[in-house]
Amino acid sequence: MVKINENFLKLPGGYLFPEIGRRVRAFSAENPPMPIIRLGIGDVTQPLAPVVISAMEKAVEEMSRKETFRGYCEETCCAYDFLRYAIQGSYKARGVDIADDEIFVSDGAKTDCGSIGDIFGVDNVVAVCDPVYPVYVDTNAMAGRAGDYDGERWTNLIYLPCTADNGFFPALPEGEKVPDLIYICSPNNPTGAAATKEQLKIWVDYANKHGSVILYDSAYEAFITQPGIPHSIFEVEGAKTCAIEFRSFSKTAGFTGVRCAYTVIPKELERGGASLNALWSRRQGTKFNGVSYVVQRAAEAVFTPEGQAQTQKAIAYYLNNAQVIKKGLSAAGLTVYGGENAPYIWARTPDGMGSWEFFDLLLKKACVVTTPGAGFGPSGEGYVRLTAFGDADATKTAVERVCNMFQ
Ligand code: PLP
């Protein structure tokens, strides 16, 4: 009789978004007085940049002719040189030297954040920020690294609280357990906080000292507006011997439906006598056959001067929404964080209200959908997350409705 991976049975089972969906559907059925506006979504809404579309059209045309048709990508780790060199150039522009064979192109940062655990043993101790992007937690739970779920936490995970008191950036762990794998996401989903070089340096030094590895998710780096905030962990001295970086075109260039991302593993990064770059290369070579030629050409176009100008326009649009939300909610008397270097606004619930209670109130009184912070971990209780990915007019209307609630 086949044995299943019993770790799957321990998963609490996609509670957050299904529950939001259930509550929104139930409310819709009651004929709400106003159209419902969704500020809970984490998906982009602006179309792809024209230069990206042109690159895809050209690539499709190439695929239609025998002379220019492409099959499996034979180049380094299923990524075409043209894209790896373009990515390498974007690092170089920020003063970071990355070799082209340290770049692994994939179909998503979610895929890579979720699969990276394949190259690490199951008895590693894992630390996650709290609140957290759930993928880091659930994939470790599936692999058997998280222990058991007690209704609020996984018994074997170290939760690093990220609260208003520490500026939503984790302090080093105080207990005896030293984490081997440390997930850091900056700019952060869900809090919208972006780490400074000094903050990251503390963790880089810690990881180098203890032989840990930092899994650094910078899927939202393109939203950084403040000078001095690093876009890559490799801007921090010492990071190449302790960090892996995940990046994505999803939020940077609206590729959530196109699918393209990349992971950087420096060759200096060795653990257990092995190069992690070589292990990941072996893993990808076995389990992955690359991203389509058409999509890799689309991604390449993002790095052209026109591509940069056009994608920046969409980012500016979202960041403007973020400001509308932040300013509006602050004017209504709420305490709000994020939204400066990220498309997320992390709002404190009023009067000590619970996350779900405030979610329900906003839904019923303003017909606005948010995401309850408690769904991202214990330290998310007392917050809701709002996203800036919506339509600008709808966002403005939603904020006006929330302000009216507090008058
Ligand atoms: N990392 C973070 C922190 C995210 O919030 C998301 C998407 O919401 C992803 C990764 C997923 O990126 P991708 O679309 O490249 O899989």
Is the pTM higher than 0.85? yes
pLDDT digits (tens, 9 = 90+) for 129-152: 999 999 999 999 999 999 999 989
Q: How confident is the model at residue 77 (pLDDT cuts 50, 70, 90)?
A: confident
What are the φ and ψ backbone dihedral angles of 348, each rounded to 5 degrees?
-75, 140
How many angstroms does the Cα of residue 256 sit away from the middle of ligand 1? 9
pLDDT confidence of residue 32: 87
How many angstroms does the Cα of residue 323 sit away from the middle of ligand 1? 22
pLDDT confidence of residue 85: 97
pLDDT digits (tens, 9 = 90+) for 101-121: 999 999 999 999 999 999 999
How many angstroms does the Cα of residue 302 sit away from the middle of ligand 1? 18
Give the atom of ligand 1 at the shortest distance from the alpha carbon of 111: 16
Residue 231 Cβ contacting ligand 1 at under 6 Å = no
Average pLDDT of the residues of the chain: 96
Rounded to a whole number of angstroms, the distance between the first and last alpha carbons of the chain is 64
Cα-Cα-Cα-Cα torsion 83, 87, 93, 96, nearest 10 degrees, comes to -140
Q: How confident is the model at residue 78 (pLDDT cuts 50, 70, 90)?
A: confident
Give the atom of ligand 1 at the shortest distance from the alpha carbon of 260: 15
Residue 371 Cβ contacting ligand 1 at under 6 Å = no
Residue 256 Cβ contacting ligand 1 at under 6 Å = yes
Q: How far apart are CA 181 and CA 137, in angstroms?
A: 12
pLDDT confidence of residue 162: 98
pLDDT digits (tens, 9 = 90+) for 323-363: 999 999 999 999 999 999 999 999 999 999 999 999 999 99
Q: How far apart are CA 191 and CA 264, in angstroms?
A: 24
How many angstroms does the Cα of residue 139 sit away from the middle of ligand 1? 14
Q: How far apart are CA 184 and CA 165, in angstroms?
A: 18
Q: How far apart are CA 171 and CA 385, in angstroms?
A: 22
Which tops the pLDDT comparison, 17 or 137?
137
pLDDT confidence of residue 176: 82
Q: Tokens in use for 226?
A: 């403040």
pLDDT confidence of residue 407: 80
Average pLDDT rounded to a whole number, residues 296-302: 98
Q: How confident is the model at residue 15 (pLDDT cuts 50, 70, 90)?
A: confident
Closest-CA residue, ligand 1 atom 12, reads 109
Amino acid symbol at 298? A
How many angstroms does the Cα of residue 189 sit away from the middle of ligand 1? 9
Residue 110 Cβ contacting ligand 1 at under 6 Å = yes
Residue 207 Cβ contacting ligand 1 at under 6 Å = no
pLDDT confidence of residue 284: 95
Answer whether residue 48 shows pLDDT above 90: yes
Q: Tokens in use for 68?
A: 């220019």
Counting residues of the chain whose pLDDT is more than 90, the rounded percentage is 93
Give the atom of ligand 1 at the shortest distance from the alpha carbon of 112: 16
